[in-house]
């Protein structure tokens, strides 16, 4: 299975070039609600798993994006790197790793629908715990006071974006370069030049 792709090499290079610019860790995540209306907001990039094509993000279970993701977990994340003048648009689906209790308490959608978007496997919960423990004290406190470092707050959600398509645009040097990468049915990355 060909997991690695040229876009990942470019992406790592862009991350490294912006390492000292905190604002370069922000990306825009777009979701749609039940009426098909789009919603876009800024999130902090929390890591990337190259072998699995997964991007990690954090959010609060009480936020509106969570109810949107429960119904429609297809998303696009858009990220602009100012120094290298590159834009990445990551598409795929989001898996939400929430508190086990909060998953079983959700009654608004069917269980089969829920299992497509949420996960409470021990492995997923371990990953959520690691992310929780890597947060600063101040950030942990933003989910709820008197937090326990050994147990993620019930509102803390780890979002895993499973990337299946990357639309890459480089504005400099001229001429512009745009390449669309997508994961085919055999899980190999394919690349195609695109205009404009």
Ligand X SMILES: Cc1cc2nc3c(=O)[nH]c(=O)nc-3n(C[C@H](O)[C@H](O)[C@H](O)COP(=O)(O)O)c2cc1C
DSSP H or E stretch at residue 58: strand 54-60
Indicate the helix (H) or strand (E) that contains 11.
helix 6-17
First to last CA, the chain: 31
Count the residues in the chain.
196
Whether residue 57 contacts residue 29, with contact meaning beta carbons closer than 8 Å, is answered with yes
Q: Contact between 126 and ligand X (CB under 6 A)?
A: no
Query: By CB under 6 A, which span of 2-10, 41-49, 116-124, 161-169 interacts with ligand X?
Result: 41-49
- Look up residue 148 and give its DSSP letter: B
Among 27, 43, 69, 163, binds ligand X (CB under 6 A): 43
- Calpha distance 103→106 (Å, rounded): 6
One of 13, 21, 26, 115 touching ligand X (CB under 6 A) = 26
Q: Is 141 in the site for ligand X (CB under 6 A)?
A: no
Count of residues near ligand X by CB under 6 A: 12
CA distance 45 to 117: 20
Segment interacting with ligand X, rule: CB under 6 A, options 36-44, 84-92, 96-104, 114-122: 36-44
Interface of this chain with ligand X, residues 45 to 104, rule: CB under 6 A: 58-60, 63-65
Minimum distance from CB of 8 to ligand X (Å)?
A: 22
Kindly list the residues in this chain that would bind ligand X in the complex (CB under 6 A): 26, 39, 41-44, 58-60, 63-65
């Amino acid at each position: 299975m060909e997991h690695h792709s040229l876009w990942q090499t470019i992406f790592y290079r862009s991350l490294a070039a912006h390492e000292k610019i905190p604002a370069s860790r922000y990306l825009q995540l777009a979701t749609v609600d039940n009426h098909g209306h789009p919603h876009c907001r800024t999130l902090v990039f929390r890591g990337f798993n190259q072998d699995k094509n997964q991007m990690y993000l954090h959010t609060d279970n009480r936020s509106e994006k969570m109810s949107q993701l429960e119904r429609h977990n297809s998303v696009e994340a858009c990220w602009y790197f100012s120094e290298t003048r590159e834009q990445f648009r990551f598409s795929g689906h989001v898996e939400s790793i929430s508190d086990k209790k909060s998953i079983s308490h959700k009654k608004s959608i069917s269980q089969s629908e829920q299992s497509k978007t949420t996960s409470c496997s021990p492995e997923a919960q371990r990953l959520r715990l690691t992310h929780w423990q890597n947060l600063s004290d101040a950030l942990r406190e933003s989910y709820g006071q008197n937090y326990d470092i050994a147990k993620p707050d019930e509102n803390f959600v780890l979002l895993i974006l499973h990337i299946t398509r990357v639309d890459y645009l480089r504005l400099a040097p001229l001429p512009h370069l745009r390449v669309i990468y997508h994961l085919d049915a055999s899980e190999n990355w394919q690349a195609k030049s695109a205009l404009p």
